[in-house]
Structure 1
Amino acid sequence: MINWEKPLIQAIARRRCVIVLGAGISRNSTNSTGKRPDTWEDFLKNCANELSDIAHIDDLISQKDFLTACELIKDRMGADAFTERVQQEYQRSGYSHADIHKYIYKLDSSIVASPNFDNIYDTYASSASASSVVIKDHTSNDIANYLLGGDTRLILKTHGSANNPREIIFTRNDYAEARTKYVLFYEIIKSLALTHTFLFLGCGTDDPDIRQLFEDIQFTHGYMPHHYMTLPQGEVHNDVLKVASDSMRIKFIKYSPDNGHQELTLSLADLVTEVEGIRTELTKNEQW
């Protein structure tokens, strides 16, 4: 089981933690046929298989250059056909939430962010909260209004949602346009990274948003709080993790990927208990 560090537990308990949900969290879900949501890589491979002359696209995917591969696939398929595929995979497939989504919700973080296009966590959180959570994406111009304190629970869709596929960030051109067009959104994320602890769940070290954002902050400001990322043991070489840790100030928390990454789910259940214990102490001692 994961031995969660006390500073992380304290940050979550005091609601000074942004929890970021990657594709690995959605992979815990299934629909009525037992299908799990495609990873970014799987989605691109499935789309490419419908095209001809794709050797160069396959090479890009194998090199993890998903942004360029997606740009080529979208251009070859056409925007309408590509949008239909996104909605079919991430909106209309009917994925149900898993236990891991329940435990993440029970951590009761003020801010949960996700680059995932699906609405699995959003739907569960809306239902569990009687629709009191606020859901915003990178195109929203009023996010700052929900960061001024109070009891709002905010979900940030950092790459957009399959509900609005025309605005999703999926290709290299999408990234470039979004960083220019939605500057305020990225400034807000940067500010949060300087003032909050981030806990990345189901994310990877090669996510372009994570790398660029945290490397920019680290080398611009020279200091920011330690952030945390859970990773399956053996997924990334320790030498690579050291470079990523030094450049992004991220501590990596390893766990066993056996039995469908069950250790992460069970460890998050333990984290809920530890966080609730700290919150009880804070309330008793009036240390909020």
Structure 2
Amino acid sequence: MEFTSEQRKFINDFIVEIKNGDAAIFAGAGLSASNGFVDWKGLLKDLAEELELDVNKEHDLIGLAQYHFNRFKRGKINNKIINEFTTLKQYSENHKLLSQIGIGTFWTTNYDQLIERTLEADGKTVEKKIRNEDFSRNIKKKDAIVYKMHGDKDSPDEAVLIKDDYETYQDKKELFSTALRGDLLSKTFLFIGFSFDDPNLEYILGRIKVLLKDNTPTHYCFFKEVSESDFVSQEDYLYAKVKQELKIEDLRRYGIHSILIQQYSDITEILREIQTRLKRNHIFISGAAHTYEPFTEERAVELIHKLSYQLAEKKYKIISGYGLGIGSIVINGALDYKFQSNYKSLDDLLILRPFPQIQSGKKSIQERWTDYRNEIISQAGIAIFMFGNKLDKNGQTLLSNGMREEFDICLKHNVIPIPIGITGSISKELWNDVINNHLELCLNDDFLRDCFTKIGEDISNEKIINNVVGIIDRLQNL
């Protein structure tokens, strides 16, 4: 997908917010629609027919729900919520991407449980706020918090749906309003699948505007651009186009900037691009060295240490499997930067994953290593390969077949490999493989091609580091 300048600017800006821990998601019914869950009209269609009304002719759907309650009370509405939002349990690609890009705050008006289930499926600890009493409890070391401001399918009696619920919301669920005001002031929200017709949100946004006047924070939302092919007549198309433009303009009053898309699948592509770009901030270092030939040990240690230091200095997160003759030096380079700069946390600079050395369980140690490599490398977006040899049981120096496997796993997971060919051993073979068979990894960029070529030539440590870091820096913005 070719992104528009507006979409690319949003991607760049929202990535910064995610890295700073200041990004949040507000999910409306549209996020779950692709899973087969009904929207508001679908939810109320049968109820409208019982009232001898046509849901397609009604604009005040909250009022429609209230009419049904007035005549039939809450029972049928509750059954409708339970039945409609229990049938499907499989999350969408968008749910999965939102879980994986590292956002820790989710707000939703949806009754389904797809957001929290997706987060939990990714191994994350999730705290849910559904009722007022949930605010009195806090889960320590949580990865994400999900605010379900309109309730949950498992408690339909408390779901916000009819006009009575909205009119009493500020009193009955004041804690949700207070928490949302705080997040809207301190975080950058991305609204997905949201129509902005919810009176609760409109009230809260209005209060923030009154307090801050024109200094409202920046938020974003997706809007599918009105297309002429969606309408029978030119007149209807032009009317819808004008109305959408007015809606977009009105949202700017609250600091909400609209990102136009041509089709809903564009949202998935934008989220996937954000995920890819964020993963490129994680650098896997693959290396093993019984001998550092053609380098001297002194030169090899200097290269590994300074490269790791520079990656840490640029705030890239290093992932290392603690390879022989490489891993300890990588750690030293990252530690050197941490202590010289008083950087707050080593965990933000380095993920260390030593390989298991003793076989246990049903799997062989080789099978365990393959699983382990897949798990580690899938967390990265870029991988650096250096040296790559080992000593076998007969005392012979062999090329590292483990590094070859890691290279193949990189290609499988769309992790861009950067073999430093000049370091020799398996890295030289992998560099030749990239140059001869995988130049598409350079993304048709002349600067990247030049840098990839140079790291296979006889150049100084300083130039090796400059070219490797240059490749990584360049890939952040492509």
TM-score (norm 1): 0.84
Residue 38 of structure 1 is matched in structure 2 by 38
Q: CA–CA distance in 2 between the matches of 1:266 and 1:17?
A: 19
Residue 15 (structure 1) shift = 1.6
Residue 93 of structure 2 is matched in structure 1 by 99
Residue correspondence of structure 1 range 130-149 to structure 2 within 5 A: 132-142=125-135, 145=138
Pair 1:179-2:170 in alignment: yes
Identity %: 19
Q: Deviations over 1:19-46 (max 9, x none)?
A: 11111110121xxxxxx11101221123
Residue 189 (structure 1) shift = 0.8
**1:154 aligned counterpart, secondary structure:** strand
Please tell me the root mean square deviation across aligned C-alpha atoms, in Å. 2.5
Q: CA–CA distance in 1 between the matches of 2:187 and 2:63?
A: 32
Pair 1:15-2:21 in alignment: yes
Give the gaps of 5 or more residues in structure 2. 227-239, 284-313, 318-336, 338-342, 349-478
Residue 66 of structure 1 is matched in structure 2 by 61
**1:129 aligned counterpart, secondary structure:** coil
Cα distance change of structure 1 residues 115 and 282 upon mapping to structure 2, 3 Å threshold: farther
Q: CA–CA distance in 1 between the matches of 2:165 and 2:121?
A: 31
**1:192 aligned counterpart, secondary structure:** helix
Cα distance change of structure 1 residues 232 and 159 upon mapping to structure 2, 3 Å threshold: same
Q: CA–CA distance in 1 between the matches of 2:282 and 2:128?
A: 25
Pair 1:196-2:190 in alignment: no
Does the aligned pair in 2 maintain the 1:228–1:251 contact within 8 Å? yes
Does the aligned pair in 2 maintain the 1:37–1:95 contact within 8 Å? no
Q: CA–CA distance in 2 between the matches of 1:14 and 1:20?
A: 18
Equivalenced residues, count: 269
Cα distance change of structure 1 residues 9 and 89 upon mapping to structure 2, 3 Å threshold: same
Residue 168 of structure 1 is matched in structure 2 by 159
Give the gaps of 5 or more residues in structure 1. 30-35
**1:228 aligned counterpart, secondary structure:** strand
Q: Deviations over 1:186-240 (max 9, x none)?
A: 1111011111111101111323233221122112222231011111112752122
- Amino acid aligned to 1:230: F
**2:8 aligned counterpart, secondary structure:** coil
Residue 97 (structure 1) shift = 1.1
Residue 208 of structure 2 is matched in structure 1 by 217
Pair 1:116-2:121 in alignment: no
Q: Deviations over 1:117-169 (max 9, x none)?
A: 11122222222226x211212434426846xx955311111111001111111
- Amino acid aligned to 1:272: Q
Does the aligned pair in 2 maintain the 1:233–1:255 contact within 8 Å? yes
Cα distance change of structure 1 residues 52 and 23 upon mapping to structure 2, 3 Å threshold: closer
Q: CA–CA distance in 2 between the matches of 1:204 and 1:278?
A: 33
Residue 24 of structure 1 is matched in structure 2 by 30
Which residue of the other structure, out of 248, 253, 259, is the alignment partner of 2:259? 253
**1:113 aligned counterpart, secondary structure:** strand
Cα distance change of structure 1 residues 238 and 143 upon mapping to structure 2, 3 Å threshold: farther
Q: CA–CA distance in 2 between the matches of 1:273 and 1:67?
A: 40
Does the aligned pair in 1 maintain the 2:97–2:272 contact within 8 Å? yes
- Amino acid aligned to 1:14: N
TM-score (norm 2): 0.52
Q: Deviations over 1:158-183 (max 9, x none)?
A: 11100111111111111222210222
Cα distance change of structure 1 residues 264 and 143 upon mapping to structure 2, 3 Å threshold: farther
Residue 53 (structure 1) shift = 3.5
Does the aligned pair in 2 maintain the 1:22–1:114 contact within 8 Å? yes
Residue 75 (structure 1) shift = 2.7
Does the aligned pair in 2 maintain the 1:13–1:279 contact within 8 Å? no
Q: Deviations over 1:63-112 (max 9, x none)?
A: 53121111112333331122111100112x12421111110101221111
Cα distance change of structure 1 residues 241 and 217 upon mapping to structure 2, 3 Å threshold: same
Pair 1:84-2:79 in alignment: yes
Pair 1:263-2:254 in alignment: no
**2:146 aligned counterpart, secondary structure:** strand
Does the aligned pair in 2 maintain the 1:21–1:115 contact within 8 Å? yes
Residue 52 of structure 2 is matched in structure 1 by 53
Cα distance change of structure 1 residues 197 and 278 upon mapping to structure 2, 3 Å threshold: farther
- Amino acid aligned to 1:42: G
Cα distance change of structure 1 residues 279 and 40 upon mapping to structure 2, 3 Å threshold: farther
Cα distance change of structure 1 residues 278 and 213 upon mapping to structure 2, 3 Å threshold: farther
Which structure's CA Rg is the greater one? 2
Residue correspondence of structure 1 range 265-280 to structure 2 within 5 A: 265-277=268-280
- Amino acid aligned to 2:23: C
- Amino acid aligned to 1:67: I
Q: CA–CA distance in 2 between the matches of 1:143 and 1:264?
A: 36
- Amino acid aligned to 2:251: A
More contact order relative to length (CA 8 Å, sep ≥ 6): 1
